[in-house]
Copies of this chain bind each other. A is one copy, B any other.
Amino acid sequence: MSKSIKFVQGNEACVEGALYAGLDFYAGYPITPSTEIAELLSDRLPRSGGKFIQMEDEIASLCAIIGASLTGRKVMTATSGPGFSLMQEALGYAVMAEIPCVIVDVQRGGPSTGIPTHGSQGDVNQARWGTHGDHAIIAMTASNHQDVFAVTVEAFNLAETYRTPVILLFDEVVGHMRERLVIPEAGEIPLVDRLRTSVKEGVDYHPYLPREDGRLPMSDFGSVHRYNVTGLYHDMWGFPSSEPQDIHALLHHLVDKLENRTNLIARYQEYYLEDADYLMISYGSAARSALHVVENRRLRGEKFGLLELQTLWPFPHDIVREKCARAKFVVVVELNMGQILREVKLAVDQPQKVFLANRIDGVFITPADIVNIIRLIQGKGV
């Protein structure tokens, strides 16, 4: 693959990133505003030797990629809110069985069928808490197409590194907007391949016995080793266990493998933070307007800064606390009723200085919307 420049939708940037990362199996069911991803891959994937399959619904789609991943493939599915809700049970299975896979949710307005053709960032907390039981998850997002490409590649890398589902939480605005994308040459972004066991055929393979570095090598299912995969708590052979010490150890393994590496996994962009008195935190399409405000204020000599989060989960509490330490106030800009706002409040030392600038009516938030809200925060009224 040589470097090329395209003018594409965000959904296509995601497709390009997935292919760059080595995607070779996709299963899905179309839903606005994610459909272009399936549409493009139905053409592109078979050309490069991969498999595309349209399933009967979203449950089947996620189950299909879980199975394919176990056999050694790099896999992805894409959907929007209602489909993502249907995937919650299988998502928990992928967490428990430690299946590398990438799930794209191009967010539209919810709840329920909501408002299919308009953007939103309303599924952020669902990505964290949508399946039952304690667990950890990785979720990433981006505000522009170059970053959509990059975080998509990163999503595959993280899925393989940590044997975990990774969620890409894009939104309709980014998904459908067209913008320049430079596709890096092969090798420019390092890829993480499946970590396969070095255990030979005929020798016992323990699918859930960590190496010294905590990683769990896999063996292509159906190949030379027989082993058990289950959504129940299990031991190092994958066999169900209800021993308290096994449950405690496995749950902590599932959570700690991600949350103890929060600072390493965290991906974010900083704009003018070094001396910022007024800090904005945003992500996805909303960060575009937030950045616009910050740059305008800097022109006026006002010390605004922007922290654009690209990793939403595990939430980078330490980084946010540190960046917010000297800010006079913090404004979280997002297209929902304050979902990341909650995390910022939990992270910082002075939650009362954190405010929300948002829009929830399906219309994209503008710099003017944000400025109006900042006036109110500064006590200047409407």
Residues on A facing B (Cβ under 8 Å): 81-82, 84-86, 88-89, 91-93, 95-97, 105, 107, 109-118, 120, 122-123, 125-126, 128-135, 230-233, 242, 244-245, 247-248, 251, 254-255, 260-264, 300-302, 318, 336-339, 341-342, 345-346, 351, 354-363, 373, 376-377, 379-382
Residues of B within 8 A of A230 (CB): 113
**Which chain B residues border A117 with CB–CB below 8 Å?**
242
Contact A92 B115 (CB under 8 A): no
Kindly state the separation between the CA atoms of A302 and B319 in the bound complex, as whole angstroms. 10
B373–A356 contact, CB under 8 A? Answer: no
- Where chain A touches its partner, the secondary structure class is mixed
Q: How far is the CB of A193 from chain B (nearest CB, A)?
A: 24
| Contact of A81 (CB < 8 Å), options: B116, B132, B261, B351 | B132
Q: Which of A91, A354, A363, A382 has the most C-beta atoms of chain B within 10 angstroms of its own C-beta?
A: A382
A264 with B301, Cβ < 8 A, contacts A129-B128, A354-B379, A373-B376 known: yes
CB pair A89–B82 under 8 Å, yes or no, is yes
Contact A110 B134 (CB under 8 A): yes
Distance from A327 Cβ to chain B, minimum over Cβ atoms (Å): 12
Closest B residue to A120 using CB positions: B133
Residues in B with CB closer than 8 Å to A379 are: 338, 341, 345, 354-356
Give the distance in Å from the alpha carbon of A341 to the alpha carbon of B346 in the complex: 11
Which one of A231, A341, A379 has the highest number of Cβ atoms from chain B below 10 Å of its Cβ?
A379
8 contacts between A and B (CB under 8 A): A81-B133, A115-B232, A134-B339, A264-B301, A338-B381, A351-B351, A355-B379, A377-B377
> When chains A and B are docked, how far (Å) is the Cα of A264 from the Cα of B120?
31
Q: Contacts A123-B133, A126-B130 given; 8 further ones with Cβ under 8 A? A: A86-B89, A92-B111, A113-B232, A122-B134, A126-B131, A130-B132, A247-B362, A376-B377
A32 to chain B, nearest CB (A): 12
Q: Are A133 and B118 in contact (CB under 8 A)?
A: no
Instruction: Point out which of A117, A132, A337, A345 has the most chain B C-beta atoms below 10 A from its C-beta.
Output: A132
Evaluate contact between A231 and B131: CB separation under 8 angstroms: no
Which of B110, B262, B373 contacts A133 (CB under 8 A)?
B110
**Cβ-defined partner of A244 (8 Å) among B92, B107, B129, B362:** B362
Q: A112-B92, A231-B112, A300-B260 are in contact. Are A84 and B132 (CB under 8 A)?
A: yes
A104 to chain B, nearest CB (A): 14
Tell me which residues across on chain B come within 8 A of A318, comparing CB atoms: 301-302
A96 touches B111 (CB 8 A): yes
